[in-house]
Amino acid sequence: MLRKVLQRITQVIKSVKMTDISPSSAAVQQDDKGNKRPLVEELSDQHKKQKTESGEQPKKLQKRKIAMLIGYNGKGYHGIQINKEVNTIENEILQALVKTQCIPQEHADVPQKMSFQRACRTDKGVSAAQNLLSLKVIIDIENLLEKINSHLPEQIRVFGYRRTTGGFDCKNYCDNRTYMYICPTYAFAPLENIVTDEYRMTDDVVEHVNKMLARFVGTHRFHNYTSKIDAKEARAKRYIISFTCGKPFIRDGCEFCVITVRGQSFMLHHIRKMIGITIAIVRGNCGEDVIDKSWKPERVDIPKAPGQGLCLEQPHYDNYNKKYGTDGIHAPLDWVEEQDAITKFKEEYIYSDIMKTEKDEKIMMEWLGTLQHHAFDFVNDKDDRDSRFDKKRFLDKCKRDHHVFDVVDDKEERASRYAKQNYLKKCKEDTDIVITPETGFNFKSKRSNFDNSENTKANEDNSDGHSESEVKIKSETIEDNSDKHLDSEVEMKSK
């Protein structure tokens, strides 16, 4: 009984203590709740307004993957590919994108950060009517094309752009490429004809040219039409879809023709060498069997046509257009809307410049004079062939003002017969170069009067200041003349 009474008293005391403590505890909890920091969602409108006015952007502009269509005249540029050491087409375009705020400067310095790629790589001086770039840029800019072109020189234009798939790569997705070569028709004149601007190409010659160009169509090993590639390498095998010569046309008194080639891909100097051997065959410098020899593993001496007339016409994306161009989300890469601007640019900045340069400088006519120095046959060493037939090296070694030149068969014999190699490099006298189609290069000295009565002393104490150790010329190289005056006029020929 006593135990029950004690338990009851204990329960009453506990209930009284809880009643005394509860109000104070509730008050403490209420105070703690009042001291809590408000949530981000409970920020006042005034605070949000102050944050916006302070300059912080609420949303960042999104970069998009696009295909950008460009055209350019490559004259004065060292190709299209980015190179910090020299001026290139891509250097100009990337800086224009930075100035337009399409990309930051760090992306221009490291283009891989924006998945940058080009469809076709063009060499020094080569133009492109249409070439494609794939990259990630900000496109939510008003009058984007006008702003980009305002920061580019007139010979480089951006024609348009298209949104593409996220994984689009303009190089890997390209099915094939079309190039053009604008050539003066006198390049196909027979050897017995005098090469002039008045030459006109007949239908028979056009047919002959197309017949030779058709020999390259199909899959072949083109190791002889490039450099540093062996016949056994897989990359030497290329596929040519079409290769044709169009009807000739006259521009400013000179006749031209357009050679069009479409292929899966091309190597360095590939197109120029195919056109070079075609010109040599049609002119009569060699036979058609040279093409058959070029398919064999051995090296064959193939001439390389000038790069002045070469132009990239268009990269093709037939498979991409078929798969994504009709899905209702992505536009096809056919550039129909931009054709008027492309045609105007080609005519004004590419075609006219190529034809005007050829008419003024006669680049093709100068190159025709070098065809007779090629063997058009198997060669043992490519480096030896280049050193023997490279026209620029040959001309540098022949800049002498008072030596008598003669026909020689060997490069070493020529050097040992006339002068030491060091002397050839140190000659500073200018020499006129006269080019004739029949005989090749004729060198005519500006120094018409040369007294050779004392040939040994004259060579030891010449006006150029060369010492005896620098110049040792055999006495038999200068023949005695009764009037003791010599006009050095030379006709250079080699096998």
Which positions make up the binding site?
Answer: 179
Per DSSP, helices labelled H in 369-471 are: 382-389, 391-397, 411-418, 421-426, 455-460
Please give the backbone phi and psi of residue 185, each rounded to the nearest 5 degrees, phi first. -70, -20
Which residue positions form the known binding site for substrate? Answer: 179
Cα torsion 397, 401, 406, 408 to 10°: value is: -10
- For 21-44, letters b (16+ CB in 10 Å) and e give eeeeeeeeeeeeeeeeeeeeeeee
CA distances from 148 to 142, 159, 170 (A): 11, 10, 20
Burial of residue 76, with CB atoms counted within 10 A of its CB: 0-12 exposed, 13-18 middle, 19 or more buried: exposed
Instruction: From 85, 77, 82, select the one nearest 114 (Cα to Cα).
Output: 82
Q: Tokens standing for 337?
A: 């809307």
State the pairing for strand pair 218-221/249-251.
unpaired
DSSP 148-178: HHHTS-TTEEEEEEEE--TT--TTTS--EEE
Q: Which amino acid is at 184?
A: P
Q: Is 102 exposed, middle or buried (0-12, 13-18, 19+ CB in 10 A)?
A: buried
In the chain, the amino acid numbered 365 is M
The enclosing H or E element of 54 equals none
Chain-centroid distance of CA 147 in Å reads 25
Does residue 32 have an active-site annotation?
no
Q: Of the residues 31, 123, 340, 483, which is catalytic?
A: 123
Measured from the Cβ of residue 405, the count of other Cβ atoms closer than 10 Å reads 20
Active site residues: 123
